[in-house]
């Protein structure tokens, strides 16, 4: 059984931000070229990897009236994914080329999931309800001369799916671990004392005061050495839904995914506040990952329990058919954003949420999944905004 044992040590927040950004640069320049769907010859995508974290895509397609339309996507690279806002430039006329006439209305959002150097999936969400949302499979048609495509081979990543485990008690009592590994080998998880399968931990809400906090854990693979995959982890407090009442304490450390043994290691000299983690592939008994997730499956209302100083609150996360999301507490929509399901076939969800009460804060991004539990179907979202962690667990109404 594959396990990971890891201990965190304190680092500066600057180092953690560098960790977060460098771990996302995973697509080689050799992916640049033309992509299309052979069954839909006549439109396609021109893709160019322009930096470690940025790509530009031109989607040559047609509008609802059958007229040629070129969409411009300034994409952000995150692992093997490219996502960004799609613009539909208008205004310029042939032969005039007057920059003052150029307009860039937003058409929608586009996500490109790269499976290999020759296969990818393009998903879109259009602002026009008549165009809706959907996806198409892409195949490499041409490639840029002189550029190699060296994607990370699959053997240096842990298998995709649910994971569970426990902390190894050194300073504190043992806590249970739950999470998921995505197709890039990254683990998104949380730690806490969970009495029963499917029971959500006490996530801090507005006005929260208390000694106990669950923890948000993100683990990134770095390099491969024999049977060991060297990784780095970040541990954050999940204060995203509590406003400013939870300190943004962040720790980080290094360890090994391994196919043999526990993978435990001796960390560098420092001050340690948290215990090592031991992860293993597989779900907690009574919990099953939902695969084949699309926006139709995902859309709905979710009750989100939050802990305050004296009592519990229940927020409501509303996910619309286009993936737009609103976390409502009382009469206020405290967080807005979007969920996408480009990798829903594997049970993986991407999300972005912004704090409407604190607009100066950076937005939250991360991964999520649906799971069936004895209490019902749950939506789990895990992420961060660079310092503060986000943990949201909602039970389907």
pLDDT in tens, 34-54: 999 988 888 999 999 987 788
Residue 11 binned pLDDT confidence (cut-offs 50, 70, 90):
very low
d(CA 150, CA 49): 13
Q: What is the pTM of this model?
A: 0.67
Coil, helix or strand at residue 13? helix
Q: What is the pLDDT of residues 135-145, one digit of tens each?
A: 899 988 887 77
What sign for the dihedral angle of Cα 200, 205, 207, 213? positive
pLDDT score for 100: 85
Nearest by Cα to 234 from 251, 212, 248: 251
Q: How far is residue 150's CA from residue 135's CA, in Å, rounded to a whole number?
A: 25
Q: Can you say whether residue 394 is alpha, beta or left, with left for phi > 0 and alpha for psi between -120 and 50 degrees?
A: beta
Distance in angstroms (rounded) separating the CA atoms of residues 232 and 224 = 13
Of 72-76, 180-184, 208-212, 298-302, give the range with the top mean pLDDT.
298-302
Among 316, 288, 300, 312, residue whose Cα is nearest residue 375: 288
Please say if the pLDDT value at position 363 is more than 60.
yes
Could you give the CA distance from residue 216 to residue 237 in angstroms, rounded to a whole number?
6
Query: Would you identify the CATH topology of the domain 29-143?
Result: Porin (2.40.160)
* pLDDT tens-digit series, residues 308-327: 877 788 999 999 998 999 99
Domain range summary for the chain, segments of one domain joined by +: 1-24+152-397, 29-143
């Amino acid at each position: 059984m594959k396990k990971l044992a890891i201990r965190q040590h304190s680092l500066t927040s600057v180092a953690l931000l560098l960790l977060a950004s460098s771990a996302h640069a995973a697509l080689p320049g050799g992916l640049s070229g033309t992509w299309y769907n052979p069954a839909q010859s006549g439109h396609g995508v021109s893709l160019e990897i322009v930096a470690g974290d940025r790509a530009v895509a031109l989607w040559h397609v047609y509008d609802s009236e059958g007229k040629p339309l070129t969409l411009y996507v300034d994409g952000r690279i995150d692992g093997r994914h490219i996502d960004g806002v799609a613009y539909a430039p208008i205004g310029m006329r042939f032969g005039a080329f007057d920059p003052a006439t150029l307009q860039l209305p937003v058409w929608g959002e586009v996500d490109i999931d790269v499976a290999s150097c020759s296969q990818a999936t393009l998903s879109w969400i259009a602002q026009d309800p008549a165009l809706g949302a959907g996806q198409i499979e892409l195949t490499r048609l041409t490639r840029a001369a002189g550029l190699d495509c060296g994607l990370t081979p699959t053997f240096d990543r842990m298998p995709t799916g649910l994971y569970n485990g426990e902390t190894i008690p050194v300073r504190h009592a043992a806590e249970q671990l739950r999470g998921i590994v995505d197709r890039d080998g990254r683990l998104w998880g949380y730690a806490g004392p969970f009495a029963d399968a499917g029971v959500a931990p006490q996530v801090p809400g507005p006005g929260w005061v208390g000694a106990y906090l669950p923890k948000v854990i993100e683990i990134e693979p770095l390099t491969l050495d024999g049977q060991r995959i060297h990784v780095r982890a970040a541990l954050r407090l999940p204060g995203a839904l509590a406003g400013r009442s939870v300190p943004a304490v962040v720790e980080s450390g290094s360890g090994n995914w391994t196919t043999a043994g526990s993978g435990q290691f001796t960390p560098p000299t420092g001050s340690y506040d948290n215990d090592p983690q031991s992860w293993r592939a597989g779900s907690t008994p009574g919990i099953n990952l939902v695969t084949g997730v699309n926006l139709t499956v995902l859309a709905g209302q979710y009750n989100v329990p939050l802990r305050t100083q004296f009592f519990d609150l229940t927020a409501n996360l509303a996910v619309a058919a286009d993936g737009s999301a609103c976390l409502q507490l009382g009469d206020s929509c405290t967080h807005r954003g979007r969920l996408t399901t480009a990798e829903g076939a594997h049970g993986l969800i991407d999300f972005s949420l912004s704090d409407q009460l604190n607009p100066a804060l950076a937005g939250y991004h991360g991964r999520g999944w649906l799971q069936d539990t004895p209490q019902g179907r749950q939506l789990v979202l895990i992420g961060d905004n660079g310092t503060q962690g986000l943990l949201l667990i909602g039970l389907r109404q």
